[in-house]
Amino acid sequence: NAGVTQTPKFRVLKTGQSMTLLCAQDMNHEYMYWYRQDPGMGLRLIHYSVGEGTTAKGEVPDGYNVSRLKKQNFLLGLESAAPSQTSVYFCASSLRPGTSRRAYEQYFGPGTRLTVT
């Protein structure tokens, strides 16, 4: 299993440009999450999804959109990038709570480092 993979690993954008970050998992997890991590800070939840076709807002959703058209993929979009969105973005996935002993554990991808100039 590859686990959770993220594409791309690095990206530099100019202010106002758009881009999509792709997260893929091969563990058949129902739940998927997008976090951002600013220097010296913990992770903050942007959006999450509890199943195919459903999404919900997290702590810091403004400026981002997401889609979960397939169970294994979770896309994070920036329509008009701003310097404040310079960060490292992490995707994670987990089983639905209560479905197994391992349902409590979130599996994280390696991150995407995004710089907006």
DSSP 3-state of 55: strand
Q: How far is the CB of 105 from another protein (least distance, A)?
A: 4
Q: Which is nearer to another protein, 64 or 90 (CB)?
A: 90
Q: Which residues bind another protein (CB under 8 A)?
A: 4, 31, 33, 35, 40-45, 48, 58-59, 90, 92, 97-98, 104-111
Neighbours of 78 (CB within 10 A): 20
Report the residue number, 19 or 50, with the smaller CB distance to another protein: 50
> Least distance from C-beta 110 to another protein, angstroms?
6
| Shortest distance in whole angstroms from residue 17 CB to another protein | 25
At its nearest, how many Å lie between another protein and the CB of residue 86?
Answer: 17
d(CA 35, CA 92): 8
Rg of the chain (C-alpha set)? 14
Closest CA to 76 of 29, 39, 111, 28: 111
Looking at beta carbons only, is 4 or 114 nearer to another protein? Answer: 4
> Residue 60 and residue 65: Cα distance in Å, rounded?
11
